């Protein structure tokens, strides 16, 4: 059996975008005349719950305020996409892994709970750094009914990749993506960014990498296969 595909479980596995995301939310608040200014700690806490990206709606409920959360979300998407389009570096090792995958015929998938507009902006902005390597499959927020930690998106990615069982490994940077991948029966390599490092113990049960590499991915995949055989 060979490794046939890599599934990137979120745009944070490609680039460190959390600070830009926070800035985009604060820009949206200013644009709508709302006096919120999320600190890093507030943003990180809002990002912890799995299963949705409705940050403004949850924060408004917490503050006992009434806001147009959908309008805020739309403005945030545009702000975030604009910031990403300005350029953002790939995380350590990502370019090497994507080039390795392209040379070896390993398929690539992107699964993201983020809104489609920012995801597309990031993929376009990082195309040169990826050496032109593209994703074979992209399962985005609008493509599924249930978001991570539900496994729907991960299962859809495996199906669209057209690979056999046990032939893919998921790279994840959040606990929600970790749970989704495992519930889909996928081996996992944890690759937490700044948000994941807030609660590093959440990744204690998964192989961990701070620099992505073919060796780490292969080891995580082979380790899961050995555990399944025992």
Q: Where are the domains of the chain?
A: 5-16+90-229, 18-85
Residue 70: pLDDT over 80: yes
Residues sharing a CB contact under 8 Å with residue 54, sequence separation 6 or more, in sequence order: 69, 73
pLDDT of residue 53: 74
Q: Does domain 18-85 have CATH number 1.25.40.20?
A: no
CA distance 123 to 100: 18
Residue 165: pLDDT over 90: no
pLDDT 10s digits, 100-114: 999 999 999 999 988
Q: What is the mean pLDDT of the chain?
A: 92
Q: Do domains 5-16+90-229 and 18-85 have the same CATH topology?
A: no
Q: CA torsion, points 92, 124, 78, 141, in degrees to nearest 10?
A: -80
88 in Cβ contact with 126 (< 8 Å): yes
163 in Cβ contact with 3 (< 8 Å): no
Count CA atoms within 13 Å of residue 154 on its CB side.
Answer: 28
Q: How many residues does the chain have?
A: 230
- CATH for the stretch 5-16+90-229: 3.40.50.1000
pLDDT of residue 51: 60
pTM for the complete prediction? 0.93
Count of C-beta atoms within a 10 Å radius of residue 227: 9
Residue 220: pLDDT over 80: yes
38 or 224, higher pLDDT: 38
Share of residues in the chain with pLDDT > 90 (%): 79
């Amino acid at each position: 059996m060979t490794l046939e595909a890599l599934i990137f479980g979120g745009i944070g596995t490609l680039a460190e975008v959390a600070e830009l995301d926070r800035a985009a939310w604060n820009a949206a608040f200013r644009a709508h005349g709302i006096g919120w200014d999320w600190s890093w700690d507030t943003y990180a806490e809002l990002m912890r719950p799995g299963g949705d990206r409705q940050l403004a709606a949850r924060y408004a409920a917490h503050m006992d305020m009434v806001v147009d959360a959908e309008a805020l979300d739309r403005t945030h998407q545009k702000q975030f996409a604009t910031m990403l389009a300005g350029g953002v570096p790939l995380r350590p090792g990502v370019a090497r892994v994507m080039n390795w995958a392209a040379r070896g015929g390993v398929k690539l998938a992107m699964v993201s709970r983020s809104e489609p507009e920012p995801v597309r902006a990031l993929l376009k902005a990082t195309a040169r750094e990826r050496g032109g390597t593209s994703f074979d499959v992209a399962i985005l927020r609008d493509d599924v009914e249930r978001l991570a930690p539900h496994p729907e998106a991960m299962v859809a990615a495996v199906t669209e990749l057209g690979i056999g069982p046990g032939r893919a490994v998921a790279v994840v940077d959040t606990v929600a993506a970790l749970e989704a991948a495992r519930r889909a029966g996928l081996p996992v390599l944890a690759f937490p960014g700044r948000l994941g490092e807030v609660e590093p113990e959440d990744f204690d049960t998964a192989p961990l990498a701070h620099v992505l590499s073919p060796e780490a991915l292969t080891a995580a995949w082979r380790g899961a296969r050995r555990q399944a055989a025992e």
